[in-house]
């Protein structure tokens, strides 16, 4: 099992450009999450999905969109990148919601720089 994988690992964008981050999991997990991690801020939830075809907003959703067309994939899109979106992005998955499971499984992260 590869667990949770993220593509790409690194990316540099110019302000206004768009891009999509891909998260894939091979554990048949229902729930998937996108976080961003900034120095001194901890992990903050951007969007999440409780199953194929569903998405919901987290703590900091503005400027991002997501899609969960297939159970194993969760895409995070930036339509018009801004320097404030420079961050490390982590994807995670869990079998059911966090109340019922012991853990979230995280990917290795994508380091995004917006110039």
Query: Which residues contribute to the site for another protein (CB under 8 A)?
Result: 4, 31, 33, 35, 40-45, 48, 58-59, 90, 92, 97-100, 102-109
Phi, psi of 85, deg, nearest 5 = -90, 5
Q: 33 or 64: whose CB is closer to another protein?
A: 33
Closer CB to another protein, 80 or 96, in the complex: 96
Provide the minimum distance between the beta carbon of 37 and another protein in the complex, in angstroms, as a whole number. Answer: 9
Q: Distance (Å, rounded) from C-alpha 90 to C-alpha 86?
A: 13
Return the structure tokens found at 9. Answer: 């690992």
Least distance CB 74 / another protein (angstroms): 14
Residues with Cβ within 8 Å of residue 112, at least 6 apart in sequence: 10, 11, 12, 13, 19, 21, 81, 85, 86, 87, 88, 89
Measured from the CB atom, the residue of 17 and 43 that comes closer to another protein is 43
């Amino acid at each position: 099992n590869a667990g949770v994988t993220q593509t790409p690992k690194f990316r540099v964008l110019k302000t206004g450009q768009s891009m999509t981050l891909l998260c894939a999991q091979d554990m048949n997990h229902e729930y998937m999450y996108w976080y961003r991690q900034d120095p001194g801020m901890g992990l903050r939830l951007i969007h999440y999905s409780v199953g194929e075809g569903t998405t919901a907003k987290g703590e900091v959703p503005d400027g991002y969109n997501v899609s969960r067309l297939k159970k194993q994939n969760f895409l995070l899109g930036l339509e018009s990148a801004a320097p404030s979106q420079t961050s490390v992005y982590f994807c995670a998955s869990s079998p059911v919601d966090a109340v019922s499971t012991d853990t979230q499984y995280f990917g290795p992260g994508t380091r995004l720089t917006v110039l």
